[in-house]
Amino acid sequence: MRNKTKPDFSVPFNGDFRLLEKTLKTGRVMEVYFSSFDERSFISNNYTRSQKTDVNRLSSLCAEYGAGLNLLCNAPSLIRADLKKLFEYIKNLKNLTAVTVADPLVVSLLVKNLPGLDIQASVIMNLVTCAQIRQILELGVGTVVVGGGFHRNLSALRELAAMKKEYPKFRIKMMANYDCKADCVFQSVHYMTGMLQQMLPGGSKLSYRRSNVPIKSRVEGLEDGAGHTGKLCLHSYGPEDFIKIPFIRPEDLKFYRKHGYADCFKLIYRGTPSHILERIYDAYFSESFDGNLFDIIFTRYKNVDGIAGTGYCNNGTFPKDFIRRVTSCSKKCEKCGYCREVAVRTKCGRY
């Protein structure tokens, strides 16, 4: 599975040390990201169930294989946390290389108090323009997890790549198996809802949003039997709407590498069961996948009516020029039928 490409994947720690060591042995992992697993700390916007983990073991394993270790502190309101306690906790973590945050109010404090660490801007920070990214870089952020809106915007990608000369520490991280429309009006609210549920006294925890575990929300109107805040997402996706989701197929990684548009590819989610993560890793590490694209990228087809596994899209039949076409797209869908053509060609839809 290992090839000559330098390690440039950021992978989640889902609590499975067996899977983690197997993944690290591939030599493809640049960093491992993990949650504080403390649902009342306001440190992490945690979609997984609260659990304990052996952080020292995690740290040692990453160090053994030369992978970085990234702590998620991506609650949208991190400023509400006990920052003094947080800084002490971080300073005591061995081999920590990065901290990911979503609250711009704490960036300067993190940069000042945690010298030497890569302070990364989470996608939850909702930076949607190059101008916003420039502002956050001025505050001292190194790596930025860019939103899906950048994935297929060639002019914006070129501008970001050019900014690296101005900001030497700047690194672009992309979520490869991205699963939400780039212009989804509910996107940022997904994350905020998780934070609100953490704040409710005695409130239930928001379970992993792609699972089938029922949740009981104390936020009126957000119940959803599929474990997903269904009120906050459009379920009227058609085949061509899925093609418009700015995912990055395993075969298209080289396009972003070649032009310097991405320095790291993040694979999501950290609440994903191990057997599914292994499938995702195999596809992206080998940079080739001939199966059902819905098996490595979660979609609304996977969750519609609370039923998983009802979507199909033949990844092996995508046009060879797909990534070139969609990154230079005019976004004038009413005048273009390309995504519709790709949907037909890949037999995209429900089965």
pTM of the model as a whole: 0.86
Phi and psi based region of residue 343 (left: phi greater than 0; alpha: psi -120 to 50; beta: remaining): alpha
The answer to the question of residue 13 being in a domain is yes
39 and 52 in contact (C-beta within 8 Å)? no
Nearest to residue 142, comparing CAs of 117, 112, 159, 175?
A: 117
Can you give the residue range of the structural domain that contains 51?
Answer: 9-197+234-289
The answer to the question of residue 308 being in a domain is no
Give the whole-angstrom CA distance, residue 184 versus residue 234.
Answer: 8
Amino acid at 272: T
| Residue 269: cis peptide before it, omega within 30 degrees of 0 | yes
Task: DSSP letter for 41, please.
Answer: S
The answer to the question of residue 122 being in a domain is yes
Q: How many CB atoms lie within 10 A of CB 307?
A: 13
178 and 148 in contact (C-beta within 8 Å)? yes
Q: Among positive and negative, which fits the CA dihedral 134, 136, 139, 140? A: negative
The answer to the question of residue 310 being in a domain is no
The answer to the question of residue 142 being in a domain is yes
Give the whole-angstrom CA distance, residue 170 versus residue 166.
Answer: 9
Any idea what the CATH number is for the domain that residue 170 is in? 3.20.20.70
Give the whole-angstrom CA distance, residue 178 versus residue 269.
Answer: 10
The number of domains in the chain is 1
3-state secondary structure string across 206-261 = CCCCCCCCCCCCCCCCCCCCCCCCHHHCCCCCCHHHHHHCCCCCHHHHHHHHHCCC
The answer to the question of residue 68 being in a domain is yes
Give the pLDDT confidence score for residue 349 in this predicted structure.
85
Q: What is the dihedral of CA 236, 205, 294, 121, to 10 degrees?
A: 100
Give the pLDDT confidence score for residue 203 in this predicted structure.
44
The answer to the question of residue 327 being in a domain is no
Per-block average pLDDT, block size 10, for the chain (351 residues)?
A: 70 96 97 76 54 86 97 88 90 96 96 97 94 98 96 97 97 94 75 58 40 39 44 67 94 96 95 93 97 86 54 94 94 89 92 62
The answer to the question of residue 299 being in a domain is no
* DSSP sequence for 143-164: EEEE-HHHHT-HHHHHHHHHHH
Give the pLDDT confidence score for residue 229 in this predicted structure.
46
